[in-house]
Amino acid sequence: MRVAVHAPGDPGHGVVRHARAVAGLAGFSEISEPFEHDGPPDLVHAHFTDALFGPDVATAASAFATWAADLRRPLVVTLHDVPGADPDPARDARRAAGYRRVIACADAVVVSSRHEAERVRRVAGALARVIPLPLPLPARPAPAPAWAQRPSLVVLGFVYPGKGHDLALDLAAGRGVRVVAAGAVAPGHTAPAGVLVTGALTDAELAAAARAATVPFVANPGVSASGSLLAWLAHGRRPVTAAGAYADEVAADTGALAPTADLAAALDRAVAHPATTWLDTPPAWPDVGAAHRALYRDVLRSRAAAGRC
């Protein structure tokens, strides 16, 4: 089986990194444009979020549809940042319209959580295959960072509005802990004053940060899937986590989380009892590579691609 993976954009973007990780787990070593292999691929796997394909969702969906229309191979599309929970109803409606257009191009749709699959059903009346984000394999940690000398409330990943840094600052006030953003500031954004930003981390530095955090923290209840949350679990940490659809799913599936609406009380417990923020072992997790290979086989068996979009 030959699979071409399409995920245009900055190699550091979370969706592009996810596409690369899935390709490796499924046995396809790198992302490439279709037809750059020794012979044409049997199937194309694209990853879509509007930010990768255009400045707005309508432009992004049009660009994706134009690209997909020329394919004469089955197309699997993994959707990221699925609409359905935006506090701005007009923006949510625009994004839903764009995602419907992308879904119409696909022979199979993949999402990373059950509640995303329900969003796809509501948005487009389509069925989506749920394949979870992969649980990363931790690297050997680098030496402990300098900020580890003080108690810390740590948010992993890119810094951008809504990630939870402002909430972390509010919670940390008066509790003697410093808020650390273990990651880089996303392009076009700034970090809130009072947050110590590490900048981009290597895998070894990320492992060191995960071990050094006094209290690991995941604060975005509206997130549809979270690589940051899974990174904490992979490194043996049980983060203080805001209740939300995705966190609740992971908690139900693994027993490794206790999502809560009372983050202040949870932070106080974590500071008083640091052992509660550690797991004995990372949770058991599905074989994401095998799940994708099974999906590819199902798509290839079911039908050949025709004209689309």
pLDDT tens readout for residues 126-175? 999 999 999 999 999 999 999 999 999 999 999 999 899 999 999 999 99
CA angle 28, 47, 42 (to 5 degrees): 45
pLDDT, tens digit (0-9, with 9 covering 90-100), for 41-55: 899 999 999 999 999
Query: What mean pLDDT is predicted for residues 171-196?
Result: 95
pTM above 0.95, yes or no: no
Containing structural domain, residue 263: 146-277
| pLDDT (mean) for 265-294 | 97
Per-residue pLDDT, 37: 47
Number of domains in the chain: 2
Contact 79, 57 (CB under 8 A): no
CA–CA separation, 271 and 294 (whole Å)? 44
φ/ψ region of 255 (left if φ > 0, alpha if ψ in -120 to 50, else beta) reads left
Query: What per-residue confidence (pLDDT) applies to 39?
Result: 64
Instruction: Measure the CA–CA gap between 276 and 270, rounded to whole angstroms.
Output: 6
Q: For residue 111, is it within any domain?
A: yes
Q: CA-to-CA distance for 36 and 306, rounded, in angstroms?
A: 21
Asked whether residue 166 falls in the same domain as residue 238, the answer is: yes
Residues 8 and 127 in one domain: yes
Arithmetic mean of pLDDT over the chain: 92
| Spatial distance between the Cα atoms of 187 and 185, rounded to a whole number of angstroms | 6
Taking 70 as the threshold, does the pLDDT of residue 69 lie above it?
yes
The answer to the question of residue 38 being in a domain is yes
Tell me, yes or no, whether 190 lies in a domain: yes
Within-domain flag for 83 = yes
**139 within some domain:** no
Residues 262 and 217 placed together within one structural domain of the fold = yes
66 and 93 in a common domain: yes
CB 58, CB 97: distance < 8 Å: yes
Cβ-Cβ contacts under 8 Å for 33 (sequence gap 6 or more): 4, 6
CA pair distance 124, 97, nearest whole angstrom: 9
Instruction: Rounding to the nearest 10 degrees, give the CA dihedral for residues 188, 56, 157, 182.
Output: 10
Asked if residue 123 lies in contact with residue 93, where contact means CB atoms within 8 angstroms, the answer is no
Element (H, E) at 214: none
Question: How many whole angstroms separate alpha carbon 163 and alpha carbon 155?
Answer: 8
Residues 158/222, Cβ–Cβ less than 8 Å:
no
